[in-house]
Amino acid sequence: MHIEATTARGIRPAEPRPVLVSGEIHKFAVGRQPASVVPHNGFSLWIQIRGKGLVCAREGWFRLRAGEWIVIDRGLATDARNRGQGLMLGVVLGGALAGSAQEVGVVPGRGRMTVSQLRESLRRWRQTPEAAAAAALLAQIAARECDYDSAIARCPGRSLSTKRRVFARMQRARQFLEGNPHRIVRLDELARLTSFSSWYLSKKFHEIYQESPQEASVRLRLEHARELLVETRHPIKRIAADCGFDNCGSFGRAFRRMFGETPTGYRRIAHCAPTHGAQPQCIAAAYPQSLAA
């Protein structure tokens, strides 16, 4: 395990253990080697500064690209790693500070930052020993989660705090689906994770996200398949199996319904697409980030 710590001028290699900045805050700078994190009740926030990274947690595994962040609740990350020259920053909040994350409106989820926002996050991460800096970092993430406002409004409850608590539990279910794009997730798994009944979970999930858990699972598995088609040379049959489809036929039909192309046709177009300028319509619509990222 190799973890890095901050200095006045930047980030340098340090002792192979997390930097404990207080009894309730750990911070991590993950370089080339994986960084193990002791499971612990609280929030973990991971921000990919450059390159590509992977966060593995109880909820599954999550790939991050430069500028992306993810918040994981309760079942904290057990492993974080980068590809090549990647750099990922992490903050783990426990005790009362985990509660403060909920107070400022931070819920499990993920998103993306601009370059200027990344620089601000890095500055605040370096100042994390100060409780005020940790609060500012949480507030920054809460501001990035403003896209959740409409979904929160659809949650049951009379007060905003009640709606946020329900939404946080639903986000755990959605995050579990995102973290397991290689298989079909059963509804009873999500029910146990959220402590809702299967019927209630399915009904409210559809009301909040405008799709059922089953539909979300299929969409996320197809999006994962799309990435594998672009980024790997795996045969179509293997990609179908790696995304939880029983056979190439059902995979091909589902893929074409979603992206308007067969898996083979999509891969051919993606590999022929220019790295700069306009991309083919089916690629731009389904894969908005640059293929060269």
Q: What is the DSSP string of 146-161?
A: GGGHHHHHTSS-SSHH
Bridge partners of 151?
A: none
Q: Measuring CA to CA, which residue among 142, 286, 148, 166 is closest to residue 226?
A: 286
Please answer whether residues 54 and 61 qualify as being in contact, where contact means their C-beta atoms are separated by less than 8 angstroms: yes
The distance of Cα 95 from the centroid of its chain, to the nearest Å, equals: 23
Indicate the residue type of 172: R
Under 8 Å between Cβ of 1 and 33: yes
Q: What is the pLDDT of residue 131?
A: 63
Domains contained in the chain, CATH given: 3-146 (2.60.120.280), 180-293 (1.10.10.60)
**DSSP per residue, 181-246:** TTSPPPHHHHHHHHT--HHHHHHHHHHHHSS-HHHHHHHHHHHHHHHHHHH----HHHHHHHTT-S
Query: Over its length of 293 residues, how does the chain's per-residue pLDDT go in tens digits?
Result: 333 333 323 443 333 334 444 557 777 788 766 666 655 556 788 899 989 898 888 889 999 999 999 988 866 556 788 777 788 888 887 766 666 666 667 888 898 988 888 888 888 777 766 666 666 777 777 777 778 889 999 999 999 889 998 999 999 999 999 999 999 999 999 999 999 999 999 999 999 999 999 999 999 999 999 999 999 999 999 999 999 999 999 999 999 999 999 999 999 998 886 654 444 555 455 544 433 33
pLDDT for res 225: 97
DSSP designation for 130: S
pTM here is 0.80
